[in-house]
Structure 1
Amino acid sequence: MWKRLRDSLARVGRIDQELVRRSAAVRRTPADQGLKQLTRSANHSLLWFACAAVLATRKGAPRRAALRGVVAIAGASATVNLVGKSLFPRRRPAADLMPVRRRLTRRPTSSSFPSGHAASAAAFTTAVTMEHPAAGLALAPVAAAVAYSRVHTGVHWPSDVAVGALIGIGTGLATRRWWPLGQGEPARARQPALVPAITDGAGLTVLVNPGAGVDTEDPEEQIRRRWPRAAVVYPDPDTDLVDQLRGLVDRGAQAPRALGVAGGDGTAAAVSSVAAEYDLPMVLIPAGTLNHFARDVGVRGLDDVAEAVATGDGVLVDLGAVRVDGNPLRWFVNTASLGGYPDMVRLRERLQDRWGKWPAAGMALAKVLARSRPLRMELNGAPHLVWVLFVGNGPYRPKGFAPTSRPKLDTGQLDVRYVRADVRFSRLRFVLAALLGALNHSPTYQHLETSKLDVRVLGSPVAIATDGEVGPEGRHFVFQSQPAALGIYRANPEADSAGSDAGSP
């Protein structure tokens, strides 16, 4: 066996040398200087980070492609540099094999095998293609040129490039294990909802949250252009948002026929709770940072929802609700959680004015993970010790502890996940299983789907977070799914009618 392996490696070496000689024999062309510039631009993946920055300026698939591409680069670079180059040291081609005009001024000194440039190029392009095929198609020739430039400039053997590219492709595809691809289709929902067609905005009241999102643009102008007779209101800082909305609805003959919201998931949750309470349809205008709920419902922007409002098309979706210590229901459209997450939100809010939202979130997460204490609680009467409890409105995917999307909003089920703290080295085991994408096989991670969950905290009261907003503290939390609680304007509900009929009770 070892002799066959040595013979195979010797054969690869001979092929490498022959290919390098043929490349060196190519006559001078303007491409020589261009490939030198291209290979330098890809040092430390700067070229791909620049491409990611451009893609990230557009919402939806381009932004998802950029993020997935950056994640794939990180995985490919770690595999090549920490594993490949450490375990398989190989000398780079001698400089004099290539003409002087092609040689790099500063030749790399690390192991030649495998090529990190080829791995990053292939990883980024593969990941981008999965989310945005058109962008991936445009990037593919650039990635191929970067990979070949390593041979053209004489710093890699062809087999280094080939193996690096395979590592990159594999890493890009492997991101699906932790982060499933978005199907680009709206979640299955009950339909049709009986929603009135509104052409000029008469009877429509839209709440605009100017503090939502990452842009400074106020959507009021676009809303008034679409619906000139709509009533546009802003949150009153001196009044509870839900109470403010109830006051708007309780206006007798002036009461709206539909409620609208332009904001993030927290604002959408407040408006949806009032819309469900008064049996009013909701116009959902994504204007927040992430817009998870709008994305899952299938509303991508104002154009999408305007078409549905004009034609009176809509669907019915489930909502989640929680009752804290017997108080009135607190509604949520995405998730609720107990444990470390509320602490992280509070700490992030204290830090974000100084550091910005995303850096503050990272610092808050690191501190909470290091300092958090487990909660002793009863889940449906059974005792448990947990680090964090997650409750989702409807079944999320993937089934690991990084839920990203919902294919269904009509199941009448809650998605319950928690991390056990009564297992030895539970935090370390949880982190390792999450990194390896093996949470479903870890004893620290538990998952179930149920229509109702009764949680009793044994100890000091704890805060609940719903849709990213910290709520009241309590010891007794009753979570329950509210099937078909909210009508939402959504265009072309016939696209999922077959699935909805099959899944509706």
Structure 2
Amino acid sequence: MTPDVDLTLPIPGPHRVRDALLSLDSGLFVFAAERKWPGAGPVLPRLSRSANHGMLWIAVATAMAAGRTPRARRAAARGMASLGLASLTINTVGKRSVRRPRPGIDPVPLARRLKRQPITTSFPSGHAASAAAFATGVALESPAWGAVVAPVALSVAMSRVYTGVHFPSDVLAGAALGTGAAFAVRALVPPPVRTPPAAGPAREAAALADGAGLVLVADSDAGGTDLVAEVREALPAAEIVVCPPWEMRTALEKAAARARVLGVCGDDGTVSAAASAALRHGLPLAVLPGAAPGGFARDLGLTTVGDLAGAVRRGEATRVDVGRFRSGAREGVFLDGCGIGVHPDLVRERGRWSEWVGEWPAGMLAALRVLKAGHRPMTARVNGHERPLWLLTAGNGAHQRTGLAAGRRLDLADGLLDVQVVHGGRNPSWRLLAASAAGRLPRSPVHAAVRTDRLRLSDVEPGTLLAHDGEVTEVSGEVVLDKLPAALTVYRPRATDGSRG
């Protein structure tokens, strides 16, 4: 009888696979060490040393943030956050789980070697992880900046093999881990959602072919000085007044008295003051977006001087709602929103960080700091019902929201106040912060929301602060919040107007 013949190939054991991969890795390391890398000698060792402890990436992020563009600042912040997560993972899991020794440096030419050899384990490469994390994080926010940073990151990763401190697989694993860290950060903190400009009823306004009749008041601290030359070129007959922020209100009143169209360039509080002056004098408003456009200009779709100049020349405009608050003899308007409780503190803290990290992360940082401060809830009667309140906000129109930070508006004339309430208690609930981080604030048991055209608060304690469009006012007794529907005419290009006719 013919014996059975086993025709199956032998399956190598796990140790054989490991040995084969190690052998291939060592072979690639020696191959790289024996090859000449043109131009790398004076560059890669220095670049490798500069990336120690992330110092290279800290310097790059600082340079990006110094550019003063919000997107570059957000990209720098996202890159550093990705680097931080990658470094934490490497140091707590990676280096301790695979204790691989460093490669022998005998095949590496003496001129390439680092003066101080690392003593930690080899797998994975922390330098490669940091480089990939920073470059990927930057690219996810700003592809243009990512294209600038990527070659530097690739060079840092290659330098670790060139100088003989890592096997190629160490570098590949580190780069994969760093890239994954950047995507994890993006999942936790999504980039800003680009939404279409808010809608509003179309309206014809005065068409100023050369700008004659427009008096534009620009805040010198809000990029107004830098934009003057562009405005004068686009609208040569316009009158332009540049003044410091403490003179803006007086300048706006004087301008409104002699203008056919009142123009303004400044922050949200300045634009709100201009809107108040325009309403009193029955004028249309022209909002020039500054170096960092405020929420109202962004919702209108105004981002450049050309956007506004074209609308003014053609007489294209829209009607928008104006929010109003009244408390005793005090009365004011707001274009974006207002709030009481800890809202003034949240606005102040969010403003410190928003240009650097974006609205959503800035809202989270502000919430953390306010929660840590341990404010007491205020007590007031809301539409006749007594409520302990930690925070109450009223947006001028429905806002898209992610947690505590208000987002964009899709309609600037919906006739509604977007009211958000966080109930009080012994102390602010950390469940609120968790819900905000997950973008599920409306599901939080300490949160309530309603859309209405009027809200009345009574029994408000004297000295209570009400924040409105970045400004702060003291209120007490009864506070009434309501709307002036489609009360203000504002210039905007019709091409961007998703209007309802």
| TM-score bin (small chain) | 0.7 to 0.9
In structure 2, relative to structure 1, the CA distance for the partners of 1:218 and 1:148 (3 Å cut) is closer
State the partner residue of 2:490: 488
Distance 1:97 1:395 in 2: 68
Distance 2:440 2:117 in 1: 40
Q: Does 1:231 align with 2:239?
A: yes
3-state SS of the aligned residue for 2:207?
coil
State whether residues 415 and 485 of structure 2, in contact with CA within 8 Å, keep that contact through their aligned partners in structure 1.
yes
State the partner residue of 1:316: 319
Instruction: After TM superposition, give the deviation of residue 459 of structure 1 in Å.
Output: 4.1
Distance 1:237 1:145 in 2: 47
| 1:142 counterpart (125, 147, 152) | 152
Taking every aligned residue pair, what percent have the same amino acid on both sides?
36
Distance 1:427 1:187 in 2: 35
Q: Does 1:293 align with 2:315?
A: no
Q: Does 1:401 align with 2:404?
A: yes
State the partner residue of 1:45: 54
Distance 1:322 1:460 in 2: 16
3-state SS of the aligned residue for 1:45?
helix
Instruction: After TM superposition, give the deviation of residue 267 of structure 1 in Å.
Output: 0.4
Instruction: Tell me which amino acid in the other structure corresponds to 2:495.
Output: E
1:299-346 deviations in whole A, cap 9, x for unaligned? 223233222222223333343332334743x22222322223435778
TM-score of the superposition, structure 2-length normalised? Answer: 0.78
State the partner residue of 1:358: none
Instruction: Tell me which amino acid in the other structure corresponds to 1:474.
Output: S
State whether residues 402 and 440 of structure 2, in contact with CA within 8 Å, keep that contact through their aligned partners in structure 1.
no
Instruction: Tell me which amino acid in the other structure corresponds to 1:51.
Output: V
State whether residues 92 and 157 of structure 1, in contact with CA within 8 Å, keep that contact through their aligned partners in structure 2.
no
| 1:31 counterpart (25, 40, 45) | 40
Instruction: After TM superposition, give the deviation of residue 169 of structure 1 in Å.
Output: 3.0
Q: Does 1:181 align with 2:176?
A: no
In structure 2, relative to structure 1, the CA distance for the partners of 1:458 and 1:483 (3 Å cut) is closer
Pairing of 1:132-211 with structure 2 (within 5 A) = 132-177=142-187, 179-183=189-193, 186-210=196-220
1:18-54 deviations in whole A, cap 9, x for unaligned? 5434433433543244222222233333333443344
Distance 1:226 1:158 in 2: 57
| 2:334 counterpart (332, 335, 338) | 332
Distance 1:271 1:236 in 2: 15
State whether residues 374 and 427 of structure 2, in contact with CA within 8 Å, keep that contact through their aligned partners in structure 1.
no
Instruction: After TM superposition, give the deviation of residue 464 of structure 1 in Å.
Output: 0.6
3-state SS of the aligned residue for 1:129?
helix
Instruction: After TM superposition, give the deviation of residue 264 of structure 1 in Å.
Output: 1.4
In structure 2, relative to structure 1, the CA distance for the partners of 1:190 and 1:28 (3 Å cut) is closer
Distance 1:464 1:176 in 2: 34
Instruction: Tell me which amino acid in the other structure corresponds to 1:392.
Output: G
In structure 2, relative to structure 1, the CA distance for the partners of 1:132 and 1:485 (3 Å cut) is farther
Instruction: After TM superposition, give the deviation of residue 468 of structure 1 in Å.
Output: 1.6
In structure 2, relative to structure 1, the CA distance for the partners of 1:203 and 1:48 (3 Å cut) is same
Instruction: Tell me which amino acid in the other structure corresponds to 1:141.
Output: P
Distance 1:348 1:441 in 2: 23
State whether residues 455 and 477 of structure 1, in contact with CA within 8 Å, keep that contact through their aligned partners in structure 2.
yes
C-alpha RMSD over aligned residues: 4.1
Distance 1:124 1:407 in 2: 34
Distance 2:335 2:42 in 1: 55
In structure 2, relative to structure 1, the CA distance for the partners of 1:120 and 1:445 (3 Å cut) is farther
State whether residues 337 and 389 of structure 1, in contact with CA within 8 Å, keep that contact through their aligned partners in structure 2.
yes
1:77-103 deviations in whole A, cap 9, x for unaligned? 44444x434763534523426513333
Q: Rg: which structure is higher?
A: 2
State the partner residue of 1:353: none
> Counting strand residues as a fraction of each chain, which structure ranks higher?
2
1:104-153 deviations in whole A, cap 9, x for unaligned? 22333445444443333333333333333233233333322222333333
Instruction: Tell me which amino acid in the other structure corresponds to 2:288.
Output: I
State the partner residue of 2:464: 462
Instruction: Tell me which amino acid in the other structure corresponds to 2:48.
Output: T
In structure 2, relative to structure 1, the CA distance for the partners of 1:162 and 1:239 (3 Å cut) is closer
State whether residues 178 and 437 of structure 1, in contact with CA within 8 Å, keep that contact through their aligned partners in structure 2.
no
In structure 2, relative to structure 1, the CA distance for the partners of 1:136 and 1:266 (3 Å cut) is same
